[in-house]
Every structure is written in C-alpha cells, then in structure tokens.
Structure 1
Amino acid sequence: MPEKSSPPPVDLEELLEREEGQFGWHQLRVMVLCAVATVCAALSTSEFIFTSSRVNTRCLIPECESSGSQQEFAPSWILNAVPSEGDGFASCERFNSSAAAADGTCPAALFDTTTIVDCEQHVYENTDSAVYTLGLACDEWRRSLVGSIRTTGALVSLPLAGIVSDRWGRRTALAITLVNTGWIGLLRYFANTYVGFIISVFAESAFGSGAIASCCYIMVAESMPRKFRVATCSLIISFFATGQVCLGLLAWALPYWRHLTLVIYAPQLLFLTYFWILPESNRWYLSKARYEEAEAGLRRIAKTNGQQLSEKSLIELRSAAEEQKKRTAEKSSSNEPWLIVLVFQHKKILLRCLLTPVWWITMTLIYYGLSINAVNISGNRYLNYVTVSAVEIPGAWTAMVLFDRIGRKAVNIGAYWICAASQIAFIVMPDDMYWASLVVYLVGKYSIAIVATAVYLYTSELFPTQHRHRLFGYSSMMGRLGSIVAPLTPALGTTIWEHLPFVLFGGMSFISGLLMLLTPETRGCRLPDTMEEAEHIGKTDQRQAKPGHRASDAEVISRL
C-alpha cells in the first residue's frame, strides 16, 4: 500500500492575511496611531537642531558698555573694538585695550588693533537657544556634541527596545518609549547646566525617542498584508519627514527653546493611552504561543473589518504557529559554524560585509548632516529646514517606483552620484544666488532620501535568509556611526573650513556609488536562502532559475 504523502506545511503568513483581511479599518487604525507616533519621534529626535542652535555672539567690551545692562548687539562703534570678519565682525575675539572710554563714546584710538585677544565675556544676538542659557558662546564643539549624544543614545535604544518588544510585546515597547520620551524630555525644560542638559538628552534618546520609528515600523509591517508592506518603509520615512516639517514650523512660531521643549514633549504624555487603544500584534502573540490572546485579537479584527472567522481557521493558525516554532528550534539547534566563520568562508559575502557599512555610514551621515546644516546656510533657517525635510517624501517614493523598473544598483548609484554632484555645485554657487543654492541643496537631500529607502531593500537582498536579519542589522548598526558624526559637521565648518562638511558629503557619496559597482544586481532574482545561493545571486543562470519564485520587495521586507 503506497505511503500517503504528508501535506504541505501551512503558511502562517497566508493564514494571517486571510483572517486579518487585506486593508480594512483595523489596519487603518494601526497606521494612523503609528503615524502620529512617528511624527512625534521626528519632533523629539530633531529638536536639538533648534533648541541648541548656533547664536551669533561678540565680545563684551567693558571699556564701552556695562555687563549688567542690556547691550546692543551691533552698536555703531563695534568695529573700533572688534575685528571685522566677512560682512560682519568677529564672534570670539576683540582688540586689546588698557583704558576706559568716556561716557557714550568708544573711539578707535582706545584699542590696539595690532593685538587681538579672546573674549572674557560675551554678548548674544538673542537668548532663544540653550546656547545662551548654558553659556556655550564660541564653544562650537560642545554645542554640536548635543546632537552626537542624542544619536549615541539612539544606538543604545535599539537593543533595549528590541528586548522589550520581543519579551513583552510590540505595543508595550512602543508605548513605553513614547511615554519615556514625554516625561524625560520635559525634565530638560528645567535644565540650567550643560551636564544636566546632556544627561537628559541621552536618557530621553536611549530610553525613548531613539527607538520609536523602528517600533512603529515593526508594528505597521506586522499588521499590514504582505503586498502592502512594500510601501511600509516609504510610509515611515514620509511620516518622519512630516514630523520634521512640523518641527520647523513650530520652531518658527516658538523660537525660545524652553517653550518649544514644552510644546513638543508635554503632549507626548498622552501616549499612555496607547496601552489601551493600540492593538497588540497577533504575530507576536502567536510567536509566544499565546493562542487565546491571538484568537481574541483575530476575532476583534474580523469584526472591525466586517469578516467572519471560522473555528477551522483558528485551529489551522495554531497548527501553523507551532510548526513554525518547531522549524525555528530545529534550525537553532543545528551544528552550523558561527556566523563570522561562515562569512570568512564565503569571500563574496565577506566583501559585502565590508561594503554595506560604508553605504550605510554615508547615507546616515549625509541624510542627517544636510538636515542639521540646513539651518546654517543663507536665508531663513526655518524655511530652509522645512523645505529640506519636505523633499524627503518624494525621494522615498521615487525609490519605490524606480526600484523594479531600472534596477537596484542603478537607483542607488545614480542617487549617490547625483548627491555628490549637488554637493560640488553647492560649494561653487555664489553666496548671492540664494534660491539657486537652495534648489541644489534640495536636490542633494532628495537624492539621499532615495538612497535611504533603496539601500534598505538592496542590502537585505544581498544576504541569505538564514542570516539576513543579523547581517542586515550589522550594516544598519554600523550606519549609526554616520548619524553620530553628522551633528559635528557644523563645528567642522566653523573651525576648519565652511565648505568642509559638503566636501565630505560629496566625496563619501561618490565613493559609495563606486563601491556599489562591486556588488551584483538583484532585480528579478530569487531571494537567496543559503550562503551559496547568495554568492551566486545576479548571475544569468540564477536570474532565470525558478522564475515563478522571484522575490518581491514585499517578500524581502517580510523575511527580514
């Protein structure tokens, strides 16, 4: 008697999509709640650009003015006492003098123009920035360090949020990071010392805002049907860019840093309600064998989306979840060598592990660097920031439109090199051509926004399913080095050469495009499952093999 063949394994992904529905009111609810959270994440992670923004200063001239009274920033006699610098005067130096002026006068004869000394006290053009409160005049490196401390905190936040998310749930991780952002950020309102200010920035980023966007991405991706996940990355970038636009407008309306801090963080305490109004991911419930909660959640979703949920489907879901856990356990118990050993055994994979961090470091450095430096270029700094942030939205969607049409490498290389060309053009642009300079600057931000979306998918396609998550995470984590260095670029421009940041952006962008020529094109290829398949991806025979199994962008995202 012939032995009966075992039925094919049930696809948990397909079952969940069938029972949760395609895109209904439940998915819309999750999307809206995560959109609000991502907008607030953008406000929190970027507010330092305005709250600790650069302020024009000059030396206090005690021979001509009193330190206890309100000083005029640019009095008629200022160039008698302070060296000229460009179209203005020096911020941190003055001419030496050993005498006091008569009341109401400050003659040039009072000062020795051959001897220049550093300021002992400073006069600020305005008191809106924390630079005034913390006494950071002429201390560009400590001022810029605020942004680097924030991005370092974000580096810490990712593994912390990952632990909470995997152990206690996606909703719990997102709600905790949101509420922590609110109350820790509010503490900064009362900061009067540099150390206290820096500690609150790090703590708020490490235990809150640094992980909000990633928590939202996971929540949305696990709630969306597979075919809609292609757009999830672009949606998160679009929501984040919207938040940055809102930040520019808020800072324009509320320039004083304490008021801006209050408006940004106080409303985020309302995210405490997410413990009740945001539904938990059913995929997380199933992964933890919490079948009763998963079934109850699926019933609520079915009711919300106007669908019927059968008992047979619930039994199949439980069976599929148990089968998936069993396969995962078998894979983890295998005697496969350590990942680092496997990487060194496969030279092409090793080369990609060396190249992908360069792409990511370049992308994050330029992406954040252009946003941060936007407030220091000529023109209205608020308008500059708003437009530079808004251009990210079409950039993200351009990547999704072109990815399958012209190929992964063409999109990434083209965007990198357009960004490099725009940096060169910005450097040589005359200062009086404000609008032309802004357009060139926007082209640079638009192109790096394309890279921010495209390199995400391309990197994930270069590695095998078995190790994709860890190798992708390695590249992404290395990329954080760029976001840590980015806030320091204004200090580089001030202390060394004003165009140095843009030379750095252009050079790294050009080199990253060149390095991408060393990796294969993955458009039309099956998603590799093993190291051997990943090494041969992009070859003609692999490209044509199993055409019905070509990996879609949605599949790439779902298998990360």
Structure 2
Amino acid sequence: MEGERENSKADGPAPENGDAPNITEAPSAHSSADEPSAPEAAAGRKGSQFEQRKGSVSDKPIDLDYVLVNEIGQFGRYQMFNLLLVSVPIIMSAFMSEYIFSAAAIPHRCRIPECGETTKLETFHPEWVLHAIPPADNNNGFASCARYTSVFNNGSLDYCPAYLFSNNEQECDNFVYARDNSCVYDFDLGCQDWLRALAGTLNSVGTLLVLPIAGYISDTFGRRVALVISVVNLALFGIIRAFSVNYPMYLAFQLLQTTFGAGTFSSSYIFATEFVGPKYRVLTSATCTSMFATGQVIMGLVAWAIQPWRYMILALHIPCFIIIAYYWILQESVRWLLSQKKFDQAKDVLQRVARRNRKQISEKSMHALMNPPEPVKVVEDGDEPNLFQAIFRSGVLLRRVCTTPIWWITTTFVYYGLSINATSLSDSMYLNYILTCAIEIPGFYTAVLILDRIGRKPTLSGGYLFSAACNIAFAFIPSDLSTLRLVVYLMGKFGISMVFTSLYLYTSELYPTQYRHRLLAFSSMVGRIGSITAPLTPVLMDYWEGIPSVMFGAMGILSGILVLTQPETLGTKMPDTLAEAEALGKPESKIKT
C-alpha cells in the first residue's frame, strides 16, 4: 500500500498545511506496499484550516476545489457512491499478500525411511520420533532439519527402536510435513526458510517496479483504464500462479502480479479522493486505507475457510474480473479530463455530479473550468540552485532529507513485519492475522481525530514510541501468557497504523513546493527497504523468537526520537519556497487568524 504514487498531471499547486495537499497520488497496498501503503493514504486537506485561509474567492481563480466547496458539494451522494464503488478494488488490492498463507511455514522434520516412512504426509509425531531425531527447544520438541544416522534399517511405522540409530547427527535427505496447505509442502521447501521468505520480498520489489508503468498508463490513457488494467493483471497473474508447477514459477508470477497489478490501490485511491472536497479528504483517505485493511481481513477469512493454497488463490482472484465492468460504470476523473483538455467529457461529468448531489454548477464556474488560464512561463533564475545544491547548502533541508527516509523505512518495516509475523503467534494463525489487520482500522481513524488537535509531532512520535514499547514488551512475555501476548502485539500494530496514516501528510508539509514531489518520492522509495526486508524477519525467529519484535521496537524508538527533531507543522502555512521551509517552527510560519 505504501509508496506507490501516480504522477497526476491534473494536480494543482500544493496548498497550505492543514488544507488537503492537492496531491491525488496514492500508495499501493502493502503493499502492501505496497503496501498499504500506505502512509500516502493520509494525504488530504484539513477543512477547519481551509476555511480560515481561503480568503476572498474573488481574488482567486475558479478551480475545481472552489466548485466543490461552493457549488456542487464536497461530499454528496455522488462522492459517497463513488467511494463505495472504488472500495471494492481497494479490498481486492489486499489479495496480493496471500503469499502469507500460500507460502506459509509448515512444521516439518526429517523423513525416516529406516522406520518405513515413504511419503511427505506420514504421522508427524510417531511414538518413536525421539529415537530417530534429536530433541530441540521448539514447539515440536524435536529438530526440524537434523536426524540421527542409522545403524540398521529394519524398523517399521509401528516399531522403530532407538538401537537402530547412532548418536551421530546428519542433515535431512527428505521431509515429513505436519500439513499440506502451503506451497512449502508441494515444492518440498523444508529447511529452506530464506527461499520461502523470498516470495514476500519479491512482492515488495514488484510494488516498486509498478511505479513507472502505472504512472504512464494513468497519465496517458486515464485513471479508469489504469484501474481496470491493474485489477485484470492482478487477477490474471494470480490465477496463473495457482497452477505453478514449481517454486521458481510461483516466485516469477508473484513478481509479475505486483509489477503489473499493484497499481490497483493507487488508481482506486485517486478516484476516491480527486473529487472529494478539501474538508473530507483526510477522512476519505482513512476510509481507503481502512478498506485495504478490510481486504486483508477478508483474505484471512477466505484462507481459513479454503485451506488448500491453490483453491484459496483461485477463490480470491476469480471474482476480481468483475472490475472490468467499471470501465462503463465509473466516470473518468475530472481532473485528468481537464488536464488533457477533454472539456466536453469533463463538462458532462460535472453536470452528472451536480444532478446526483442535487446541486447546480454556475455558468461562470463551468466557463472558468472549460477555459483555464494559460500557465505562466517562469523565467529561470541562473542563481536558483538545483535540488542537490539546495540540499547541501541548507543544513535544515539536509537534516530533513536524512531523517524522513528513516521514518518511512521504519513504518513499512514494522507495519508489514507485524502483519507477516502474526501468523506465527500461535496455532491459530488465521485468527491472529485477521485480528492484526482489523486493529489497523481504529488506528487509522484515531490519527484522523488527533492530527488536527494535538499536532503532527505528538501523533507520529507517540505512535512510534507506543508501538516500540509494545513490541519490546512482547519479546519478553512468556509464551504461556498467550492472551496477554496477543493484546500487546495488537497494540503495537495499532500504534504503527496511526503513524502509517499520518506520515505522508507530515512529510509533505516539511518540504517546499519546488522540491516537494521529488523529496517525497525519494523518502517513499527509500522506505521500500522496510517492506522488502520485512518478509525475511520470521526466519530470524529460528535463532531467538524475540529478534523481530526487538528490531521493530528499536526502529520505532529511533524514528520516534527523530520526529522530535523536526518542527511542528500544525497551523502553519505549507511552504512554497526553501526559505519558508527553513522557517517552519518559527513564529513567522504560523497562520495569522
């Protein structure tokens, strides 16, 4: 969900802090990324401050935001119906994370042919197991990847005494698995946890590769085409992956699915937010991310109900083809139509919206939208520094460029890491995953409620530190206190979900308009390190079960402290110039009321 943004040519100039940044790009789920992803879902204007700053409308050109606020409605029946429609593909975008179940770890041990075992699904805990396999301090009570060497080979499934084996150990030649509802069983991936975890890493890599593809399709052919193509690719490659004949094929189509289908969330997010007025964009953004979390819950329920992994993938992806009908159901983005000078189509959509909302759009406003002013040609100042020069000349900007990517890495690392590791909390991996995803929804809306009340810094720093405290505490809670462990784990996910919703907004408010898009993209791209490495953390539990939680906690503490080094942006003007960005936190940056 996170990090994935489409370059919308229709985006207007960036507004002031607290107003919805006129940035209609969105993350992918994750992806959750993708994502999740993520933090971009917090992009939006705060209506309370919008009213304070809009000033005299006669002094400003009439744009789409003016028409939404003053004429056709910021969130009427049309926008509500549109949000309900795009919630369906947002939910479907979460299905790309089904590798959490289809490539889930399965308890396994060495196969003992000396005791008559010939298949991968023999009795997993025979009475004689400790005669042939060394004991170990794990849930099974015996080693997963080692066995004793044999002296004789005349045992049977019912009787296999200890004298048939020596005390010398050797690696497994073949494996017996506790269950068969994962590709680990089909492709015999016992004791290859790093290879198994590669599916999650490639999923995150795909959400990075999708950016130029989704952006080009969206800007060239329209948001509606981009949405339909993304969902069809998601479904098609997912279905093909269900018929994988080996693990390399499974991995290849995991990468292809996210590379060509991870634009689903961003395309849907654009539809949801582009035509909502400034007052409701933050709430709409939180609703979009909540729909992604709902999709994860649905995925967990389907995986629980249909446990054979191939049938589970088919059950998730076949219904996605209904989104093809959206090509005829959804109206194209008005902002994109205006940017492409498709004024007749834009006029038709605007009139439809006005009728659905039982409003009217004035001829004056319609004429202004259909006849936009020519863009002012700015004469380049030879002394104007480029981005790299500006970064190294400004100590303030340099510190922010070094700080914000760390926040993004932490957020994606902890957010996706907690989701992935939830399946190993106890034997009830489906329920644990569902609860871990469901707790995101109150986290998203909590951030919406407090961002404009206590400020950006307390929300982000508090979210990081609260999540870090829960993760570190979880690492040291005894395993027999299962209920307490689950509650603390869920609170850690709640804290990072608050951050996920707030990070995009706060980062965009720290950078000046002239560099904002590039530095925001830089932070997001570096943040991919977190989502790419998060799927590998369950493997570290082989050394100590608390390693992932301690890592999540350490990163959270670091980022929580780093947030405190930056200025508060609530109630300040969105900086347009480098000088204004450097002045953030000073009295002159405050909005005068």
The 1:364/1:267 distance shift into structure 2, 3 A limit, reads same
Does 1:85 find its partner at 2:136? yes
Cα distance per residue 1:176-226 (max 9 Å; x no partner): 101111111110111011111111000010000x22222222221101111
Q: Which amino acid aligns with 2:583?
A: H
2: distance between equivalents of 1:102 and 1:168? 68
Moved more, 225-234 or 338-347: 338-347
Question: Partner of 2:580 in structure 1?
Answer: 533
Q: Which amino acid aligns with 1:262?
A: L
SS in 2 for 1:63: helix
Question: Partner of 1:132 in structure 2?
Answer: 185
Q: Which amino acid aligns with 2:551?
A: L
Note if contact 1:97-1:112 (Cα within 8 Å) is conserved in structure 2: yes
Q: 2:474 aligns with which of 414, 426, 434?
A: 426
Does 1:326 find its partner at 2:326? no
2: distance between equivalents of 1:265 and 1:352? 41
Question: Partner of 1:111 in structure 2?
Answer: 165
Question: Partner of 2:35 in structure 1?
Answer: none
SS in 1 for 2:109: strand
Cα distance per residue 1:456-495 (max 9 Å; x no partner): 211111011222222112111211110000001011222x
Question: Partner of 1:412 in structure 2?
Answer: 460
Q: 1:192 aligns with which of 245, 253, 265?
A: 245
Q: Which amino acid aligns with 2:110?
A: C
Cα distance per residue 1:309-346 (max 9 Å; x no partner): 44333211123xx32x614xx25966644222222222
Moved more, 84-93 or 180-189: 84-93
Note if contact 2:155-2:164 (Cα within 8 Å) is conserved in structure 1: no
2: distance between equivalents of 1:140 and 1:193? 16
1: distance between equivalents of 2:88 and 2:63? 30
Note if contact 1:47-1:247 (Cα within 8 Å) is conserved in structure 2: yes
SS in 2 for 1:547: coil
Cα distance per residue 1:33-54 (max 9 Å; x no partner): 111111111122x211001000
Question: Partner of 1:10 in structure 2?
Answer: 61
Q: 2:349 aligns with which of 297, 315, 318?
A: 297
Note if contact 1:217-1:232 (Cα within 8 Å) is conserved in structure 2: no
2: distance between equivalents of 1:529 and 1:13? 21
Q: Which amino acid aligns with 1:453?
A: T
Cα distance per residue 1:387-418 (max 9 Å; x no partner): 11111011111111111221211111111111
Cα distance per residue 1:273-297 (max 9 Å; x no partner): 1111111111111111111111111
Q: Which amino acid aligns with 2:360?
A: Q
Question: Partner of 2:125 in structure 1?
Answer: 74
1: distance between equivalents of 2:308 and 2:529? 30
Question: Partner of 1:554 in structure 2?
Answer: none
Question: Partner of 2:450 in structure 1?
Answer: 402
Q: 2:413 aligns with which of 360, 365, 389?
A: 365
The 1:418/1:33 distance shift into structure 2, 3 A limit, reads same
2: distance between equivalents of 1:275 and 1:149? 30
Note if contact 2:300-2:433 (Cα within 8 Å) is conserved in structure 1: yes
Question: Partner of 1:547 in structure 2?
Answer: 592
1: distance between equivalents of 2:511 and 2:120? 65
Give how far 1:516 is off. Answer: 1.4
Q: Which amino acid aligns with 1:500?
A: I
Give how far 1:11 is off. Answer: 3.2
The 1:102/1:450 distance shift into structure 2, 3 A limit, reads closer
Larger fraction in helix: 1
Question: Partner of 1:243 in structure 2?
Answer: 295
Note if contact 2:63-2:369 (Cα within 8 Å) is conserved in structure 1: yes
Note if contact 2:203-2:258 (Cα within 8 Å) is conserved in structure 1: yes
The 1:244/1:160 distance shift into structure 2, 3 A limit, reads same
The 1:206/1:69 distance shift into structure 2, 3 A limit, reads closer
Note if contact 1:65-1:71 (Cα within 8 Å) is conserved in structure 2: no
Cα distance per residue 1:102-160 (max 9 Å; x no partner): 444200111112x1111001011111101111221110001001000011001111221
Give how far 1:10 is off. Answer: 1.1
Does 1:505 find its partner at 2:538? no
2: distance between equivalents of 1:19 and 1:188? 49
Give how far 1:69 is off. Answer: 8.4
The 1:68/1:39 distance shift into structure 2, 3 A limit, reads closer
SS in 2 for 1:156: helix
1: distance between equivalents of 2:555 and 2:334? 42
Question: Partner of 2:514 in structure 1?
Answer: 466
Moved more, 339-348 or 390-399: 339-348
1: distance between equivalents of 2:194 and 2:362? 63
Question: Partner of 2:79 in structure 1?
Answer: 27
Moved more, 501-510 or 333-342: 333-342
Gaps of 5+ in 1: 1-6, 549-560
Does 1:515 find its partner at 2:566? no
Note if contact 2:306-2:312 (Cα within 8 Å) is conserved in structure 1: yes
1: distance between equivalents of 2:411 and 2:155? 57
SS in 2 for 1:525: coil
Q: Which amino acid aligns with 1:130?
A: C
Q: Which amino acid aligns with 1:108?
A: A
Give how far 1:300 is off. Answer: 1.8
2: distance between equivalents of 1:307 and 1:137? 63
Note if contact 1:158-1:211 (Cα within 8 Å) is conserved in structure 2: yes
Give how far 1:440 is off. Answer: 0.6
Question: Partner of 1:216 in structure 2?
Answer: 268
1: distance between equivalents of 2:274 and 2:107? 48
The 1:531/1:11 distance shift into structure 2, 3 A limit, reads farther
Give how far 1:354 is off. Answer: 0.7
SS in 1 for 2:173: coil
The 1:90/1:332 distance shift into structure 2, 3 A limit, reads farther
Gaps of 5+ in 2: 1-57
Question: Partner of 2:5 in structure 1?
Answer: none
SS in 2 for 1:266: helix
Query: TM-score normalised to the size of structure 2?
Result: 0.87
Note if contact 2:121-2:178 (Cα within 8 Å) is conserved in structure 1: no
1: distance between equivalents of 2:80 and 2:359? 16
SS in 2 for 1:515: helix
Note if contact 1:39-1:240 (Cα within 8 Å) is conserved in structure 2: yes
Identity over aligned residues, as a percent? Answer: 42
Q: 2:224 aligns with which of 155, 171, 178?
A: 171
Cα distance per residue 1:56-95 (max 9 Å; x no partner): 1111101002315852111111111011112521111101
Note if contact 1:101-1:107 (Cα within 8 Å) is conserved in structure 2: no
2: distance between equivalents of 1:116 and 1:527? 66
The 1:331/1:492 distance shift into structure 2, 3 A limit, reads farther
Does 1:64 find its partner at 2:115? yes
Question: Partner of 1:446 in structure 2?
Answer: 494
Q: Which amino acid aligns with 2:134?
A: P
Q: 2:210 aligns with which of 151, 157, 176?
A: 157
Question: Partner of 2:401 in structure 1?
Answer: 353
2: distance between equivalents of 1:347 and 1:137? 51
2: distance between equivalents of 1:312 and 1:444? 52
Note if contact 1:186-1:265 (Cα within 8 Å) is conserved in structure 2: yes
Cα distance per residue 1:420-446 (max 9 Å; x no partner): 111111011011000000011011000
Moved more, 196-205 or 332-341: 332-341
CA RMSD of aligned residues (A): 1.7
Cα distance per residue 1:523-552 (max 9 Å; x no partner): 111111111000111112322xx424xxxx
Question: Partner of 2:283 in structure 1?
Answer: 231
Q: Specify which structure has the bigger relative contact order, considering alpha-carbon pairs within 8 angstroms and separated by 6 or more residues.
A: 2
Cα distance per residue 1:506-535 (max 9 Å; x no partner): 111101111112111111111111110001
